[in-house]
Structure 1
Amino acid sequence: MSTLNGLPEWDRCAVMGVVNVTPDSFSDGGRWFDTTAAVKRGLDLVADGADLVDVGGESTRPGASRVDEEEELRRVIPVVRGLAAEGVTVSVDTMRASVAARAVAAGATLVNDVSGGLADPEMVPAVAAAEVPFVVMHWRGFSADMAGRAVYGDVVTEVVSELRTRMEAVVAGGIAPERIVIDPGLGFAKDAGHDLALVAHLRELHALGRPLLIAASRKRFLGHVLAGDEGAPPRARERDAATAAVSAIAAYEGAWAVRVHEVRATADAVRVARAVGAAR
């Protein structure tokens, strides 16, 4: 597997557990809003097999409005500090440079920015100064209006091209190439068909030459698949088996990590994928 400066080296696809410290996440909003509950949740995810824990204080579900900076800091920093104090490898999920810098100071070792540094012009300089790995996700705009941006001629080709352009900008901004992770941004300015096409063509993303993070957990395209043509999609929390299926595919196709809300099934899935890959 690919390695990143400042992070452990795993012999298989890593499992990134999600802790949403928000009242309005599409998946589990409000369940871990209290700091103590959020830290406990992170530790429980590690016990279930998470290799690292991604802490976020701002919902990026479709249509979500932004939280203000002080509130995001209030939500995130105590949880990052609490988990890091317990020896957990912590990622911070934020689009704000101030939150990223404070989280790294509190013990985070990875910055996961769904905008790839586009939302805040100070993000790339802050991450470059912090010398930590940075997730560059494919992003076309904020959640409030991203659905209208889901227009592609060839989604795989365009996502790869736009990610390459963004990677080059991030490197030009001072972040070392060996610290970059890429994420195709499933569900962000994409419909179900776009998401499925990207999952089907993960090998094309490897052409970018950087570790690949896949964040499919509980997303709408899985609900669409499970519902079929006529049915109503199951609730987000009823999509964990489907999530584990994508995790197995991603792991088999060489992803560096998968980001999931419920860890145990995915932890099993990536181990099976590694064993099958080893038997090729």
Structure 2
Amino acid sequence: MPSSTAAGIHLPRLDVPVRRIGGRDFDFAREVAVMAVINRTPDSFYDRGATFALDSAVAAAHRAVADGADWVDIGGAKFAPGPAVPVAEEIDRVVPVVAALQGSGAVISVDTFDPDVARASILAGAHVINDTTGVHDPRMAEVVADSDATLVITHSLARPRTPYPAPRYDDVVGEVVAFLTARVERALRHGVPADRLIVDPGHDLNKNTLHSLELTRRLGEISTLGLPTLVAVSNKDFIGETLDRDRDRRVEGTLAAAVFCILQGARIVRVHNVTAAVDAVRMTEAILGWREPAYLRHNLA
């Protein structure tokens, strides 16, 4: 059953709202985490390799934490079609960044669909594995189950790094819910407890703009699964196509989509533009009555 805030906004009840992740407690009944994106790839869709060099990636990660990011998500191989990245190379890309973030106070996430990369990342200190292929390989669940890490299960249809042209859905939201339900059950069967699972509907992953808009509009149907919902809407093509904006002009559209998703139950937002996103998220929390203002001075004696 959904619950209502004082503002009259209907939000879903989470089965286990309070999570301890990376040494921090998050109450997702009344808190939203901002996840910063750090890509150690030469061909990332947004920054086009700007943080591919190790020094650049580490500096960007520390800057994101200083700017208020709660989580940092490090990726060494993108989901989109392209040549496979050898496992050893992907490990060499992400593990040094994980190591450099120890003691930063941030939750450290690694964006990977390879169980061996996940294992190496967890051993290096990663707290979250963000699998954009939704546990397509059951070994991923086994690796996470054999640790204290949290697993993000994302909806997508294609095998890693392979094209999936012109995706079709009869009901994109219903099919995403069915997929996530099945993959959550797979993770549970392989030993990952429910209180270490997060779901992500996978905006733009094997979906066109109309699909992603529908997912955003009806995100409440995803968040009723009872698990914290992560949304990765940042600078995505569905925003660019909706607003006719190039990649470097999608911040405002990203913030609008992120806030709308929060009001539908999203509890982690994955973003590139950290400062703007932190302000939007914290303002939304304050409007919902979850956060006190930093100070009170206006019209006070």
What TM-score do you get using the length of structure 1 for normalisation?
0.92
Looking at secondary structure, tell me which structure has more helix per residue: 1
Gap regions ≥5 residues in structure 2? 1-13, 291-301
1:192-231 equivalences in 2 (<5 Å): 192-227=209-244
What is the distance in 1 between the residues matched to 2:238 and 2:165? 13
Q: Corresponding residue for 1:100? A: 118
Equivalent of 1:9 in 18, 21, 25:
25
What is the distance in 2 between the residues matched to 1:117 and 1:211? 17
Secondary structure (helix, strand or coil) at the match of 2:21 reads coil
Equivalent of 1:57 in 64, 76, 82:
76
Q: Corresponding residue for 1:230? A: none
The one-letter code of the counterpart of 2:278 is: A
Looking at secondary structure, tell me which structure has more strand per residue: 2
What is the distance in 2 between the residues matched to 1:28 and 1:161? 33
Q: Any conservation in 1 of the 2:112–2:118 contact (CA below 8 Å)?
A: yes
Q: What is the alpha-carbon root mean square deviation over aligned residues? A: 1.6
What is the distance in 1 between the residues matched to 2:91 and 2:52? 13
What is the distance in 1 between the residues matched to 2:56 and 2:265? 33
Equivalent of 1:153 in 154, 170, 183:
170
Equivalent of 1:249 in 243, 246, 260:
260
The one-letter code of the counterpart of 1:173 is: H
What is the distance in 2 between the residues matched to 1:15 and 1:64? 29
What is the distance in 2 between the residues matched to 1:168 and 1:12? 26
**Number of residue-to-residue matches in the alignment:** 270
What is the distance in 1 between the residues matched to 2:282 and 2:163? 38
Alpha-carbon distance change, 40 to 141 in structure 1, aligned in 2, over 3 angstroms: same
Q: Any conservation in 2 of the 1:248–1:266 contact (CA below 8 Å)?
A: no
What is the distance in 2 between the residues matched to 1:64 and 1:85? 34
1:141 positional shift = 1.3
Equivalent of 1:22 in 4, 19, 41:
41
Identity %: 37
Secondary structure (helix, strand or coil) at the match of 2:31 reads coil
1:85 positional shift = 4.1
Secondary structure (helix, strand or coil) at the match of 2:210 reads helix
Secondary structure (helix, strand or coil) at the match of 1:158 reads helix
The one-letter code of the counterpart of 2:240 is: G
1:63-82 equivalences in 2 (<5 Å): 63-82=81-100
What is the distance in 2 between the residues matched to 1:86 and 1:217? 23
Q: Does 1:276 align with 2:287?
A: yes
**1:217-257 deviations in Å (ceiling 9; x for gaps):** 11110001111xxxxxx322221221111121122222110
**1:190-210 deviations in Å (ceiling 9; x for gaps):** 000000000001111122110
Gap regions ≥5 residues in structure 1? 228-233
What is the distance in 2 between the residues matched to 1:172 and 1:147? 32
Structure 1 runs of 4+ with >4 Å offset: none
Q: Corresponding residue for 1:139? A: 156
Equivalent of 1:123 in 133, 140, 160:
140
The one-letter code of the counterpart of 2:184 is: M
Q: Any conservation in 2 of the 1:112–1:134 contact (CA below 8 Å)?
A: yes
Secondary structure (helix, strand or coil) at the match of 2:25 reads coil
What is the distance in 2 between the residues matched to 1:169 and 1:206? 19
What is the distance in 2 between the residues matched to 1:215 and 1:12? 17
Q: Corresponding residue for 1:113? A: 131
Q: Does 1:172 align with 2:183?
A: no
1:40-55 equivalences in 2 (<5 Å): 40-55=59-74
What is the distance in 2 between the residues matched to 1:92 and 1:4? 18
Secondary structure (helix, strand or coil) at the match of 1:144 reads coil
